[in-house]
């Protein structure tokens, strides 16, 4: 992780892609939470954010209505339209942040080379308060699952921003 963080020191703009399975719950929520934190920190010119999914089943769709509702109650307005991970994402982004082990494994397998594979990191590695090893998929669960995901993502995104501020 230290090598990856150091690689950002001389970057004009840091580009981060959040990834989950379908890009309708976790990754788009992470993108929006991070966007709000970046805006509040006055770093919108320095950090570019996007999200994508490992499958294209939901391509062009808004986030899951339940995720949008739970996020909205916390002040996040998720407007992202789902898209799949593309080959060029491995060159266009500095960090590709997966939500769970399955995402991480698939992303590493998709990476065109070793340097691109090294860009793949785990979202929960940035958690400061939560002791979790993945962001669970809330799609087949109830309200508490969506709230839990938002709790984890708020913690992890705050930790991620702290890491980024440390290299700026």
Determine the pLDDT at residue 10: 78
100 is known as an active-site residue:
no
Options 64, 89, 137, 155, the catalytic residue: 137
* 48 DSSP β-pair partners: 15
Determine the pLDDT at residue 50: 98
Sheet holding 14-20, edge to edge: 47-53, 14-20, 95-98, 120-122
Model-wide pTM > 0.85: yes
Q: What is the CATH number of the domain that holds 36?
A: 3.40.50.2300
Options 25, 26, 155, 157, the catalytic residue: 26
Contact 37, 72 (CB under 8 A): no
Residue range of the domain that includes 8: 2-167
The per-residue pLDDT for range 39-55, each reduced to its tens digit, is 999 999 999 999 999 99
Of 53, 54, 62, nearest in space to 81 by CA:
62
Determine the pLDDT at residue 132: 97
Options 20, 25, 127, 157, the catalytic residue: 20
Percent of the chain past pLDDT 90, that is, above it, reads 90
Average pLDDT, the chain: 95
DSSP of 98-156:
ESSHHHHHHHHHH-SSHHHHTTEEEGGGG-SS---SS----TTS-HHHHHHHHHHHHHH
* Token pair for 162: 């702290």
20 is known as an active-site residue:
yes
Determine the pLDDT at residue 150: 98
Determine the pLDDT at residue 127: 98
**Residue ranges of the chain with per-residue pLDDT less than 70:** 168
């Amino acid at each position: 992780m230290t090598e990856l963080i150091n690689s950002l020191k001389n970057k004009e703009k840091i580009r981060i892609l959040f990834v989950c399975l379908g890009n309708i719950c976790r990754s788009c929520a992470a993108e929006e939470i991070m966007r709000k934190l970046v805006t509040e920190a006055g770093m919108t010119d320095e950090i570019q954010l996007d999200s994508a999914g490992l499958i294209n089943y939901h391509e062009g769709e808004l986030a899951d209505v339940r995720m949008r509702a739970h996020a909205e109650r916390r002040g996040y307005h998720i407007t992202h339209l789902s898209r799949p991970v593309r080959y060029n994402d491995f060159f266009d982004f500095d960090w590709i942040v997966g939500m769970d082990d399955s995402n991480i494994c698939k992303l590493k397998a998709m990476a065109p080379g070793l340097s691109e594979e090294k860009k793949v990191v785990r979202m929960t590695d940035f958690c400061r308060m939560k002791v979790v090893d993945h962001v669970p998929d809330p799609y087949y669960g109830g309200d508490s699952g969506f709230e839990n995901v938002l709790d984890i993502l708020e913690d992890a995104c705050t930790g991620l921003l702290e890491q980024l501020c440390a290299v700026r």
